[in-house]
A and B are shown apart, each in its own frame.
Chain A
Amino acid sequence: MKKALSIILLVAICLSSTLAITGCRRGEDECAVLYYTYSDTYISSVRAEMDRLLDKGGIAHHNYDAGGNQTTQTEQVDTAITKGASILIVNVVDTGSDDAARTILEKAKQASVPLIFFNRSVSENIIKEYDRCVFVGTDYEEAGRIQGRMIGEYVRDNYSKLDINGDGKISYVLFKGQQGNMEAEARTKYSVEICNSVLAEAGLSPIVFYDSQNRDKYLVDQDGTWSNAAANNYMKTILSGHSESNKNMVELVIANNDEMALGALAALEEVGYNKSGSRHIPVFGVDASEAARAKINSGAMTGTVKQDSAGMAEAIAHIADNMINGRDALSGIDEDMKVGEARVNIPYSAYTGEDE
C-alpha cells in the first residue's frame, strides 16, 4: 500500500516537473491571447485558426483560458503584462457592462501595450479611450437580423406544413444564451422581430411564444454559458408537457447559438422528431459550427448563421502583426470591413446547407 503510494507520488512529481520544463519553448515579448472560455465551440475554431496563423507568421504567442470568469481574465491580463507581452488580444468575458473592458484597457494603456478586443462586444466609447486599441468583431445585431430573415422566409414558405395543430399560428420557443450579453439580447430581439415583419409582409400572423404565461418570451441559460445542456434540459421539460396529442406542440425552435440549437434538437430527436421519415420541427441557430453544419446537411436542423471564424482569426493575426511592427493597425484590411478608425466587422451569412 505504502509502496504503491510512493510510486504514484514519485511519478506525479516527475510528470509535473517535466510538464513545467517542456512548457518553456517561447521567449518574452510574445503576443498574449486571452479567450473568454475554451469551452465555446465557435471560439475554439477561432483559436485553432489563430494558433495556425500566428505560428505560420512566426509570432510567438501564449493563450489564456478565462473559463468564463471575468476575475480570472483580469488577473491573466496582469500576469501577461508583467510577463512582458508585446500585444494583448482579448476576448472579454463580461459584456454586460463597460467596466470589465475598461479595466483591461486601462491596464494595457498604463503599460503602453497595444490591445485588440475581439468577438465579444466592447462598446465604442471604450475603444476610443486608447489610441492603440482596435476591436475586431461582428456587427452584433447583424446575426440576429440574418437569423430573423432566414426564419421568416422559411416559415412563410412552409406555413401550413409547420402549423401542426392548425390554429393558424406558429408557436415557437427561444433559447437565450446569457442574461445581459449584448449579442444575446440582440439575437433574442431581432430573430423574432424580423421574422414577424417578413410574415407580416406576406399577410401571415406573427409567431407566438409557446408559453403564454412567460412574459420574457425566452428561456435563458441560467449559467450564462450558452450551453447545449441548458437548452436540452429546457426542451426535454417542454416536450414532457407539449405534444401533438395535446395539440400544443412547439412548432419552431430558435436558439441564440448552435450549441443551444443542437441541445434542443437532441431532445426532439429523443422523442422521435427530426429523423428521416418523421416530422421535422425547424431548428435555427447561429455560429455554423461543424456539428451544426453536419446536422443541417443531414436535414435534421434547418439553418444557422455563419460567423466566419477563419476570417476573424485572419483579421486579428494581420492587425497584431501590424501593431507589433509599428505599422498602421488597420493597413491592409479590406475597406468594406472597416468601420471608422478602430473597428473591423467580419460579415455574417445565412447557412442552410445549400452552398456546400
Chain B
Amino acid sequence: MGDNVSVNDGIFKKILHPLKKRFDDFRQLEPRDKLKRISALILDNAMLIIIVTAIIVIAILRPRFLSVASVINIISLTAARLPIALGIGGAIVLTGTDISAGRAVGLTACISASLLQSSGYLGKMFPNLSPLPPILVLLIVMLVGAVIGLINGFFVAKFKLHPFIVTLSTQLILFGAVLLYLQIGDNGGQTLSGLDRSYIDFVTAPLFKISGIAVPRYILFALIITALMWVIWNKTVFGKNMFAVGSNEAAATVSGVNVFLTIIGVFVLAGALYGVTGFIEGARIASSASYTGQGYESDAIAACVIGGVSFVGGTGKISGIVIGVLLLQIIFVGLNFLSVDQNMLYIIKGLIILLACAVDMRKYLKKR
C-alpha cells in the first residue's frame, strides 16, 4: 500500500472498511448461512428491486415509457393521488386507518362541481347561483372535509373505537349523503357537469410546457401540500405528538401529550386533504357522480404501506408516502405499457400490497 495509505485512509475507514468487514464476515459464513444472508438482503429491499427492475425492463421493451409525455402523465397521476394518501398516512401512523376517505372525496367533488357549474348550463343544480371564485369553493370543501374528519376523529378519540369501524360507518353515511346531494333541485341523481371554465383552468391549466406537453397546475397543488405536510409532520409539536401517540398511546399520555386532541387533529387534517382531492377530481375528470372517489382509500392505503408507513404505528415519512404513490403509478402505467392482461392487473396489485406488508412486518419480527 505504501504512500497511498495516508491518502486513502479517510475513505477506507469511512466506506471501504465497513464494506470489507461485512464482506469478510460474509465469506466466513457457512454456505447455508450465505444463502440466508443474500436472501435477507434481497427481501429487505424487495420493493426497490422490483421497481428498479420494472422500470429498466419496461423502458427497454417500450422506450416510450420514458418519453416526456409519459413521464408527465405518471407525475400528474401521482399528484392527483397524493393529497388523499398524505391524509390517510396520518391515520395509519396512529395505528388506525380511514376507509371513509374515498366517499369523502366523492362528496367534496360533487359539492365543488355543483358550486362551479357554468351559469346557463342546462340542468344546473343551483340555477340561480353564478359560479363562485374557485379558491372560495376550495376552502368550503376543505371545511366540509375537515368536519367529516372531526366526526371520525371524535368517535375514535372519545369512545376508543377502532378507526376501521368508525370510518366504515362514516363511509356509508357519506355515500348516502352523496346520493341525497345529487337529488337536489332538478338534478335527479344525474352526473354533475357543465363546469365553469374558471374552475377547470384553476385546476388543470398548464403551469408550463415541456417540449409541447402541458404540465397541469394540480402538480403545483400537490407540491405545496407535500411541503406543508412535511413541515407539520417533522417540525411541529403536533407532528411529534402524532408519532408519540402512534408508537405508544399510554406513554404519550404519561408524558403529557393531549391524545384526544392529537387524534382529532390528525383526522381533521386528513379530512381537509380529502376535500382538496375532491376539488381536484371534480375539475380533472369534469364529471362527478355517485361513484366518484369509490375505492380511492384502498390505493392510498396501499401507497402508504408500500412507502413504509407501518400499520404497527408510530413510523412513516412523507417522502415514503410520495415514493409509495409514485411507485404504484409507475407499476400500473408500466403494466399497461407492457399490455399485461387487465384481469392480471388486479392480481398483481394484490400481490404487491401483500408483499409490501409482509416485507414491512418482517422488519418488526426481526426486531423482536
Chain A residues engaging chain B, CB cutoff 8 angstroms: 1-2, 5-6, 8-10, 12-13, 15-17, 19-21, 23-26, 28, 30, 38, 62-65, 67-71, 74-76, 78-84, 94, 96-100, 102-103, 179-180, 220, 222-224
Contacts and interface: CB of A to CB of B under 8 A. Distances in A.
A75 B81 CA distance: 12
A23 B335 contact: yes
Contact of A38 (B46, B77, B342, B362): B342
Contact of B46 (A9, A21, A70): A9
Given A9-B355, A23-B344, A79-B333, A179 B190 contact: yes
A39 to B, nearest CB: 11
Contacts of B185: none
Interface in B248-285: 281, 284-285
B189 interface: yes
A27 to B, nearest CB: 9
Nearest to A100: B287
B342 A224 contact: no
Contact of A79 (B73, B194, B291, B344): B73
B290 A97 contact: no
Interface in B138-197: 179, 182, 188-195
A220 B182 CA distance: 14
Contacts of B54: 20
B64 to A, nearest CB: 5
A36 B345 CA distance: 16
Interface stretch (B8-16, B83-91, B303-311, B346-354): B346-354
Contact of A20 (B67, B286, B338): B338
A24 to B, nearest CB: 5
Contact of B337 (A15, A83, A97, A223): A83
Interface of B: 39-40, 42-43, 46, 49-50, 53-54, 57-58, 61-62, 64-65, 67, 69-70, 73, 76-77, 179, 182, 188-195, 281, 284-287, 289-292, 294-295, 333-345, 347-348, 351-352, 354-355, 358-359, 362, 365-366
B358 A5 contact: yes
Nearest 5 pairs between A and B by C-beta? A96-B191, A23-B340, A179-B189, A97-B193, A99-B193
Contacts of A6: 39-40, 43
Contacts of B64: 28, 82-84
A12 B351 contact: yes
A21 B57 CA distance: 8
A20 B58 CA distance: 9
A24 B61 contact: yes
Contacts of B61: 24
B340 A20 contact: yes
A180 B54 CA distance: 41
A28 B195 CA distance: 35
Contacts of B358: 5, 8-9, 12
A64 B336 contact: yes
A180 B188 contact: yes
Given A83-B64, A179-B188, A99 B195 contact: yes
Given A10-B43, A71-B281, A82 B70 contact: yes
Contacts of A15: 351
Contact of A83 (B70, B179, B348, B359): B70
Which of B333, B337, B345, B366 gathers the greatest number of chain A CB atoms within 10 Å? Answer: B337
A16 B353 CA distance: 12
Contacts of A13: 42, 46, 49-50, 355
A77 to B, nearest CB: 10
A23 B39 contact: no
B190 A19 contact: no
Given A6-B43, A20-B335, A224 B289 contact: yes
Contacts of B347: 19
Contacts of A8: 358
B290 A74 contact: no
A62 B165 CA distance: 40
A223 B291 contact: yes
Contact of A9 (B339, B345, B359): B359
B67 to A, nearest CB: 7
B289 A180 contact: yes
Contacts of B289: 70, 94, 96, 180, 224
B189 A20 contact: no
Contact of A25 (B194, B294, B339): B339
Given A26-B339, A100-B287, A19 B344 contact: yes
Interface centre among A1, A16, A30, A63 (most CB of B within 10 A): A16
Contacts of B285: 70-71, 74, 100, 103
B287 A97 contact: yes
Contacts of A25: 339
Given A9-B359, A28-B62, A103-B286, A64 B335 contact: no
A13 B339 CA distance: 20
A90 to B, nearest CB: 14
Contacts of B182: 179
Contact of B336 (A62, A67, A71, A96): A62
Contacts of B292: 70-71
Given A9-B46, A19-B348, A179-B189, A83 B336 contact: yes
Nearest to B71: A82
A203 to B, nearest CB: 35
A23 B342 CA distance: 10
Contacts of B343: 38, 65
B290 A76 contact: no
Given A9-B46, A71-B281, A94 B335 contact: no
Nearest to B341: A23
Contacts of A84: 64
Contacts of B46: 9, 13
A185 B217 CA distance: 37
A310 B174 CA distance: 41
Contacts of A82: 64, 67, 69-70, 73
